[in-house]
């Protein structure tokens, strides 16, 4: 096995152990969030949407539902500031990124990693693949719950090709320079962002 192959195997081992441990330790919080969502608005607790993962293979991403709708079609409108579709508890969950916690199940099952390029809705992949340079190369690694682009300020809506290009450039830089140490740095920066949440919608 090559050095990079061994490092990727180590990354997967960390994903399995980290996601399993996270699900066990965070179970009380996950249950509390589920109750708050049910009390706050009608609809399912979990939101599942098709995304594209490693090797362009589709998978269903899991998130806590933060909006009154559960779009998963060929046209998906991104959330905007003061979006009326976002629920009261949903606004808090999105601002703190707690809505992403169910993706620990995706990591455990192997469709995602703790760290990697964030997966976009299939509709947005189709929208940007033809106008953003090297967009499809993001699928060379498993998508992550968090990533280099997110800790560098690329969160929330991507209203135009320029905004998406910046996100893709950071994703590709992560793929090209990936190492276990870089993952540790990104996870540490992510924890800092969760403790000090910035504007997200």
Is 1 inside a domain boundary? no
Domain that holds residue 60: 12-195
pLDDT tens digits, one per residue of 120-177 = 888 888 888 888 989 999 999 999 999 999 999 887 777 788 889 999 999 999 999 9
- 3-state helix/strand/coil string of the chain: CCHHHHHHHHHHHHHHHHHHHHHHHCHHHHHHHHHHHHHHCCCCCEEEEEEECHHHCEEEEEEECCECCCCCCCCCCCCCCCCCCECHHHHHHHHHCHHHCCHHHHHHHCCCEEECCCCCEHHHHHHHCCCCCCHHHHHHCCCEEECHHHHCCCCCCCCCHHHHHHHHHHHHHHHHCCCHHHHHHHHHHHHHHHHCCCCCC
Number of domains in the chain: 1
The pLDDT confidence band at residue 201, using thresholds 50, 70 and 90, is very low
What is the pTM (predicted TM-score) of this model?
0.88
Tell me, yes or no, whether 3 lies in a domain: no
């Amino acid at each position: 096995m090559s050095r990079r192959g061994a490092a990727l195997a180590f990354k997967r081992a960390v994903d399995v152990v980290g996601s399993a441990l996270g699900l066990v330790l965070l179970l009380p919080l996950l249950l509390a969030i589920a109750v708050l969502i049910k009390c706050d608005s009608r609809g399912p607790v979990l939101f599942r949407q098709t995304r594209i993962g490693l090797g362009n293979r589709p998978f269903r991403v899991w998130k806590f539902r933060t909006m009154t709708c559960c779009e998963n079609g060929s046209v998906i409108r991104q959330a905007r500031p003061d979006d009326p579709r976002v629920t009261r508890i949903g606004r808090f969950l999105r601002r703190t990124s707690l809505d992403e916690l169910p993706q620990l199940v995706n990591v455990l099952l192997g469709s995602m990693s703790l760290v990697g390029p964030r997966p976009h809705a299939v509709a947005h992949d189709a929208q940007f693949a033809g106008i953003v340079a090297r967009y499809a190369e993001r699928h060379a690694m498993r998508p992550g719950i968090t990533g280099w682009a997110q800790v560098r300020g690329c969160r929330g809506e991507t209203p135009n090709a320029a905004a998406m290009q910046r996100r893709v450039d950071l994703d590709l830089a992560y793929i090209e320079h990936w190492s276990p140490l870089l993952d540790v740095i990104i996870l540490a920066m992510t924890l800092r962002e969760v403790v000090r949440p910035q504007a997200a919608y």
